Structure 1
Amino acid sequence: MLVHGGVSAQTQQETVSSQEEEPAAAPEPPRVQVPTSTTLDELIPQSAVEEAEDWARQGVGEPERAEVDPEAVAEAAEDGLEDAPDPAIAATLDGFEIPEPQRLEPDPDGEVLAEIDAPDLMQFPELEEFEVSDELILAFPADNDAFPERTNFLERFRTLSTVEALESGDDTVPQLAARARADEELLLEMLRTYGYYGGEVARQLSGGRRGDNGDIAGADIDPQVRFDILPGERYSFGAIDLGDLVSAPDSEELRASFAIESGDPLQSDRIVEEELDLRVALGESGYPFAEVDAPSLLVDHARNEGDLSLPVQPGGKYVFGGVQSSDPDFLSGRHLSRIARFDNGDVYQTSLQADLRRAVIATGLVTSVAVTPREIEPPEGGEPGQVALDVEFDRAPTRTIAGAIGYGTEDGLKLEASWEHRNLFPPEGALRLRGILGTREQLASVTYKKNNFRDRDQVLTVDTYASDIETEAVDARTLGLRGTFERVSNLLFQKPLSWQVGAEVLYTDERNRVEEGEPGPRQVYTIGSLFGSATLDASDDLLDPTSGYRITGFAAPEVSRSLGETTYYVRTQADASYYQEVGTTVLAGRVRAAAIVGAEAFEIAPSRRLYAGGGGSVRGYAFQAIGPRDEFGEALGGGSVVELSLEARIQTGFLDGAIEVVPFVDAGSVARSSRPDFSVIQYGAGIGIRYKTSFGPIRVDVGAPLNPTEFDAPVVVYVSLGQAF
């Protein structure tokens, strides 16, 4: 048998020999030598060291081998050990022992580590693709609850993506790869903006490969990048620190304006929005000196929360204590207080301070304005302090000389000049001289105008004039004195309600241009009138409305004396217009109805009767060309009028949208009596161009009568500022 472990080969031989009892001993077989060297130095002879190359060429000599009993080897084979170890190896391992390992002491940290759960592997969610462009695809979790902000996220990314801005082309692969890396950083930053600080973005670039021979035939030549958005868990707001806001008297109301609470989903945009709301609330609640520093957000990834700090110094609560002017001889502090929309003692509001600045600019008398709050009395004993508003401005030129020359189918040739001093009678008292020389009109007028008279946006106007006007229907030479007091809308302050009241005295020598084929006799009229109007304006723009409506009512009781007879009557008029935006087109409509009640048309001076036609009436006809005519074709005027206008203001996109094309159709009817009869209706149609400027659209309309009379021109052109209605 074969003995393992510490039994030597010699021992094995002796043991085997003792078990065999042969009568005659057989000759000993040759012994097998087993190497006995156990070190590298013993295995390599000294000659190999001294003559290494010769020793390598002749080979290695037979090492000394230990003797092995062949009978022991045969016995091992008989015992079934087919894969018996090499006797040489067994001899080498003779005496080799492996010590039994000692038991280790238990590790005190082992139990703690064992209690830590192994991390769960993240399961990749099902994704839904959104094609941003041919080069760009975003994939979001298909479950919308996993990322409910994805619609807004996608729209924001479209505007910021560098890949989206890249045009398609065969040579854009390197550019696409570079921009894709930038977009990956953008997406990660956007995820953090929405509060997903643990979000991940996977980027894949594909396409743009060439064929084996270098050409692009049959290869995918359209490069494309895909981003897989894995938002992960959304962080929440942790602690909210608003500095010294609690020291404000109305801190609870101010805190409510900052609508972020602990536990709300974290989003950077909300911080910006709510900071602005808080600033507005401070400014509108009486805190002119409040200071709000930049917010800071400390994100704690262990808690999945962000602690927000927004240092606030309210600075005390104040009320208005007056207005001071830097140039009282030009615009006094008293006048500025009059046009302000607050009284002394009202709680300070930043919006009212800004409104005062706009009102000063609207006077047209200054080139620059600065309005600054100044403390005149500090808060004390729980009572608010007082601030004065210091208004500093630079004077603008106050004198204007203007002139114009032109020709129109309605007005003929006209030369106009004017001189104006806008602050000759401070504050805001203007004097204007105006003159017109033309083929159909001559005029000289002197006008006094006081803006912001006794209150904001109230205007007092006194105008005296002499004129000689020849229109399609009337030839009148008039001396007039007219005064109005009105509350008006302007380009800076469009009002929902404006009104006007006034009085007028006229001395006029006029006639119908033709009677029985000859110039009619002149007749002198002395007319006195009181008038008033009111306008409800729900439109979105004063000169170029796109939505809403306007309604205006006008009434003027008048007394007229001529040829020893006195006539009393009332002139009335109502206008209504409506505007509706449909895509890039604005549909606009207007209706007008007017009547003179209390007198027959022939009893009223020709210039006071009702007519239709012209650029602000029925386009396609001359001014005052629509109405009853005598047998000689002369317009007589009437006692009632009804007009209707429809137009479509179509955006063209030319000159960055400054050009509009406006097809229109108008209709009008004038009756001799104060009751409309619609026995004759004149129609006009045409097309116009609008060129939009910062001060309103410039209008050019070309109209033609659809059912002209023998007295109407085939085409009429109108040019003016603003829409037709």
Structure 2
Amino acid sequence: MLDAFNFKSGDEYSASRAEKGQANIRAKFSELGFLNTKVTENRMYQSSTNTVDIDVVIEPGQFTLVETPGFKISNKKLRELVPVFEEGSVDEDLVEEGRAQILRYMQQEGYFEAMVGKDLIPAPLDNAIQINYPIEPGVKHEILAVAIEGNQHFSTDDIRARMKVRKGQLLNPSFFSPEALNEDVRTIETMYRNAGFEGTVVKGNYAEVDHSINIMIEIQEGRQVPIDSIVIVGNSAISEPELRKAMQLKEGDLYTPLVVDRARAAVTQYYYARGYADARVERSVMDDESNHGMRVAFVITEGEPYQIGRIFVEGNRLTKDKIIHRNSGLYPNTPYNPEVVLEGQRRLYATGLFTRVDIVTLSEMEPHTRDLLIQVEDAKPILLTYSIGYQEYERVRGTVEISHNNLWGLDRSISFRVRGSLRERLAQSTFREPRLFNHDLDGFASAFFEHTQRPSFTANRLDFSLQTLKRFSPSQNFLFTMGYQTVDLEDIRVNPLAEKLKTERGIFQIARFGTSYVQDRRNDPLNPTTGSFNTTTFQIASRAFGSELNFTSLYNLYSFYTPVPRGVLATSVRLGWNHPFGGTTSLPPTERYFAGGSTTLRGFSFDDAVPEGGYAMTIGNFEYRTPLGIIPIKGLGAALFYDTGNVFSTLSDIHLSQFTHTAGFGLRYQTPLGPVRIDVGINLNPKLRFRVQDLSTLNPGEPLYRREERFKVFFTLGNPF
């Protein structure tokens, strides 16, 4: 118990730590079967020594033992199935609910004829009880097939994707219970009803053959009906033609509940946008028996129009009023739209400047005018963050960052970041101006020093850059960059590729301009299941603006994510081309493309596909990701992947015969920060390559060539793309 309380003599006392210790003790007793354990803490302060004596009083509560004679169910699973543990008490309803849950669990495990009883047995000890659920499991059944017949509008795959009942497949066990089958029938009926079908009949049946189950879903599709008439009543301020144009619904369209609901929402938003904040739109649908269609009616209660009057700000101690007004997007003498007010609250939260934002309407001082009060609470502007990560080449690396996110109360920010590992050291500072030149632009000034050790070279870089970001929408951004960089490659002489990279030694000054377009339509940046991500970057370095090297750089990454049965198919295509010009014949390794590792070609070590790198790159990745339902660990998934492509000396050298090919598999464990990932890559065509670059270093009798390794194992954080 002392270990659980997590205090010992001499520790600094804090109330939050004490509360956590009490929670740990309650959890310990809960694991032992004690319900509603009470833990209280008595503190006695000693002023003479400035210490606190702590007495912890524990009332264990009722001891409850749950057993399942006749069939073994793990204690962990029983705690999920029997609700007395979650509720912290025992009564007849909770015991019966536990019995029903256990029966459903047995049916899902294939014991469709199982029988589960219940017995409450008072224990000889005070304040203790035993609950027995005797189980007669019967014979375990297997699901032979799940057949679907009669469907035409929806494909069989679409219907299966919505069903709970399924036949067992690789990595996904079978699932069946009569309740689940009935639920699937209701789900399919809802699918057809939402698609506008009237009179659809769905039947679910199952039959046993030698302890195996055949499941049949029979569908009698009804008919889709058109909208015969649309009636609008109650409108006076806005004409019917305007409302019909806004709802985008007309006679003759196929009826579905969804399109009618969308039309009602569109009409409501049309009124809101004109200041009718109290407008209400009711919709009704009925059969038109004369024409075998549907009659849709919208009944409108308009209310009175309002405008925004004065806007007051309260509670800000640091942030300037003008920053709050600007970011809220709310302006006096504009229509009072409750959805715009809610969006203003969201926009203020999104700045990260506040821990609390409320926008309330004040008492009406003038007719048809509503004054607003924006109440905020400033967040702490100075943040200290630190993190630790892992990468297959750098191994463990740590980051520490300190930032001020609200300089002078103007939403400006400055940050200082230090990152380090065995092969990399980085120090970086960034300043952000949220409204550059009083336009809707983000401005950045950044400087960093980096020491990096790559398999083929070691470099020191000093970089200064200015960037301008234009946000066209939440998913589309355009970035303009100009930067000046000093690259020190003097120590390339000690690298294994010194003979191949003779002309790339030295110190280089690189000045460049560039643009980037980023489009992010993923539903989840950490673990996407739908959508796409696309970025295209073009840069030019030229002696015309102070660079020692002339070259252009074009890079494109396009990834998209497609839901497929039991998982997601993730696809990524990367193309890159760096082109020297104007007297520059070669580029240093820092301006070359490399491939190999956990995010590119997983049949090779980091940067090892072409160790000297190249000026052109093309890589394709295909990965099937699926939950690993066969193992009862929440968040565990599996992946099958195929990587292809390579790095080439020039664009004209790209040829399919030089593409590498890697297949493999991996495990994923989802965490709030993204997946922890283990991948095994298999090089399908390992080639011969020189063992050393300098033949004079070759030992007598040592082979001149070596074959590329066939297997690679990667452990890292985050998805590969």
TM-score under structure 1 length normalisation: 0.55
Q: Does 1:512 align with 2:512?
A: no
Q: What are the equivalent positions in structure 2 for 1:179-258 lying under 5 Å apart? A: 242-243=233-234, 245=235, 247-250=236-239, 252-254=241-243, 257=246
Secondary structure in structure 1 of the residue aligned to 2:270 = helix
Q: 1:292 to 1:400 in 2, by over 3 A?
A: same
Structure 1 distance, partners of 2:599, 2:346, is 32
Structure 1 distance, partners of 2:645, 2:498, is 31
Structure 2 distance, partners of 1:433, 1:621, is 35
After TM superposition, the structure 1 stretch with the greater mean CA deviation from structure 2, 675-684 or 425-434, is 675-684
Q: 1:587 to 1:618 in 2, by over 3 A?
A: closer
2:322 to 322, 334, 354: 334
Q: 1:446 to 1:266 in 2, by over 3 A?
A: closer
- Unaligned runs of at least 5 residues, structure 1: 1-133, 140-148, 209-221, 380-384, 629-634
- Per the alignment, residue 34 of structure 2 pairs with none
Q: 1:436 to 1:392 in 2, by over 3 A?
A: same
Q: Please tell me whether the aligned partners of residues 373 and 387 of structure 1 are also in contact (alpha carbons under 8 angstroms).
A: yes
Structure 1 distance, partners of 2:491, 2:176, is 74
2:410 to 427, 436, 451: 427
- Per the alignment, residue 653 of structure 2 pairs with 677
Q: CA deviation at 1:661?
A: 0.7
- Per the alignment, residue 96 of structure 2 pairs with none
- How many residues are paired up? 530
1:552 to 513, 536, 551: 536
Q: CA deviation at 1:510?
A: 3.7
Q: CA deviation at 1:692?
A: 5.0
2:237 partner letter: A
Q: CA deviation at 1:569?
A: 0.6
Q: 1:709 to 1:721 in 2, by over 3 A?
A: farther
Q: Residue deviations 1:608-664, cap 9 Å, x none?
A: 444443444433434444446xxxxxx4x55x1222222122324536787351412
Secondary structure in structure 2 of the residue aligned to 1:410 = coil
- Per the alignment, residue 647 of structure 1 pairs with 622
Q: 1:589 to 1:310 in 2, by over 3 A?
A: closer
Q: Please tell me whether the aligned partners of residues 332 and 427 of structure 1 are also in contact (alpha carbons under 8 angstroms).
A: yes
- Per the alignment, residue 49 of structure 1 pairs with none
Q: CA deviation at 1:572?
A: 0.7
Structure 1 distance, partners of 2:163, 2:496, is 74
- Per the alignment, residue 50 of structure 2 pairs with none
Q: CA deviation at 1:667?
A: 2.3
1:643 partner letter: T
Structure 1 distance, partners of 2:572, 2:383, is 36
Q: Please tell me whether the aligned partners of residues 372 and 389 of structure 1 are also in contact (alpha carbons under 8 angstroms).
A: yes
Q: Does 1:459 align with 2:442?
A: yes
Q: CA deviation at 1:665?
A: 1.3
Structure 2 distance, partners of 1:521, 1:138, is 70
Q: 1:138 to 1:272 in 2, by over 3 A?
A: farther
- Per the alignment, residue 574 of structure 2 pairs with 590
1:591 partner letter: L
1:356 partner letter: G
1:487 to 459, 466, 470: 470
- Per the alignment, residue 265 of structure 2 pairs with 276
Q: Does 1:665 align with 2:643?
A: yes
Secondary structure in structure 1 of the residue aligned to 2:474 = coil
Structure 1 distance, partners of 2:463, 2:496, is 30
Q: CA deviation at 1:282?
A: 1.6
Q: Please tell me whether the aligned partners of residues 537 and 551 of structure 1 are also in contact (alpha carbons under 8 angstroms).
A: yes
Q: What are the equivalent positions in structure 2 for 1:18-417 lying under 5 Å apart? A: 167=177, 242-243=233-234, 245=235, 247-250=236-239, 252-254=241-243, 257=246, 274-283=263-272, 285-292=273-280, 312-317=300-305, 325-339=313-327, 352-372=340-360, 390-405=373-388, 408-417=391-400
Structure 1 distance, partners of 2:561, 2:719, is 14
Q: CA deviation at 1:441?
A: 1.8
Q: 1:662 to 1:376 in 2, by over 3 A?
A: farther
Q: Please tell me whether the aligned partners of residues 567 and 599 of structure 1 are also in contact (alpha carbons under 8 angstroms).
A: no
Q: Please tell me whether the aligned partners of residues 339 and 456 of structure 1 are also in contact (alpha carbons under 8 angstroms).
A: no
Secondary structure in structure 2 of the residue aligned to 1:416 = strand
Structure 1 distance, partners of 2:359, 2:296, is 34
Q: 1:581 to 1:350 in 2, by over 3 A?
A: same
Q: CA deviation at 1:478?
A: 3.4
Q: Please tell me whether the aligned partners of residues 595 and 609 of structure 2 are also in contact (alpha carbons under 8 angstroms).
A: yes
Structure 2 distance, partners of 1:269, 1:524, is 66
Q: 1:279 to 1:555 in 2, by over 3 A?
A: same
Secondary structure in structure 1 of the residue aligned to 2:269 = helix
Secondary structure in structure 1 of the residue aligned to 2:271 = helix
Structure 2 distance, partners of 1:690, 1:412, is 19
Q: CA deviation at 1:270?
A: 7.9
Q: CA deviation at 1:552?
A: 0.6
- Per the alignment, residue 529 of structure 1 pairs with 511
1:511 partner letter: D
RMSD of aligned alpha carbons: 6.4
Q: Does 1:501 align with 2:481?
A: yes
Return the structure number with greater strand share. Answer: 2
Structure 2 distance, partners of 1:376, 1:678, is 71
Q: Residue deviations 1:150-182, cap 9 Å, x none?
A: 99xxx9xx999xxxx9955xxx9xxx9xx9xxx
Secondary structure in structure 2 of the residue aligned to 1:567 = coil
Structure 1 distance, partners of 2:532, 2:206, is 53
Q: Residue deviations 1:49-108, cap 9 Å, x none?
A: xxxxxxxxxxxxxxxxxxxxxxxxxxxxxxxxxxxxxxxxxxxxxxxxxxxxxxxxxxxx
Secondary structure in structure 2 of the residue aligned to 1:248 = coil
Q: Does 1:472 align with 2:449?
A: no
Q: 1:612 to 1:684 in 2, by over 3 A?
A: same
- Per the alignment, residue 27 of structure 1 pairs with none
Q: CA deviation at 1:286?
A: 1.7
2:478 partner letter: S
TM-score under structure 2 length normalisation: 0.55
Q: 1:348 to 1:328 in 2, by over 3 A?
A: same
Structure 2 distance, partners of 1:434, 1:667, is 35
Secondary structure in structure 2 of the residue aligned to 1:568 = coil
Q: Residue deviations 1:412-461, cap 9 Å, x none?
A: 44343222332244333223222234322223333323446567984332
Q: CA deviation at 1:538?
A: 7.2
Q: Please tell me whether the aligned partners of residues 498 and 535 of structure 1 are also in contact (alpha carbons under 8 angstroms).
A: yes
- Per the alignment, residue 548 of structure 2 pairs with 567
Q: What are the equivalent positions in structure 2 for 1:7-26 lying under 5 Å apart? A: none
Q: CA deviation at 1:299?
A: 12
Secondary structure in structure 2 of the residue aligned to 1:335 = helix
- Per the alignment, residue 445 of structure 1 pairs with 428
1:677 partner letter: D
Q: 1:339 to 1:503 in 2, by over 3 A?
A: farther
Q: 1:263 to 1:373 in 2, by over 3 A?
A: farther
- Unaligned runs of at least 5 residues, structure 2: 1-144, 165-174, 208-213, 693-705
Structure 2 distance, partners of 1:662, 1:414, is 28
Structure 2 distance, partners of 1:470, 1:684, is 27
Structure 2 distance, partners of 1:678, 1:610, is 13
1:598 partner letter: G
Secondary structure in structure 1 of the residue aligned to 2:575 = strand
2:401 to 400, 405, 418: 418
- Per the alignment, residue 19 of structure 1 pairs with none
